[in-house]
Amino acid sequence: MNRYGVLYNEINNRVHNLERFLKYINDVLRHIEPKNTTNTRCVAIMDKVRFHKMSTIIEAFHIKGHEISYSPPYSSCLNPIEESCRPENETELFNYMSDRLSTRTLKDCDA
Q: Where are the domains of the chain?
A: 13-75, 79-110
Q: Compute the distance between CA of residue 14 and CA of residue 16 in angstroms, rounded to an integer.
A: 6
In this prediction the pTM is 0.64
Band of pLDDT at residue 106, cut at 50, 70 and 90: low
Amino acid identity of 111? A
Q: How far is CA 36 from the centre of its chain?
A: 16
pLDDT digits (tens, 9 = 90+) for 67-104: 898 888 777 666 655 555 566 677 777 777 677 666 66
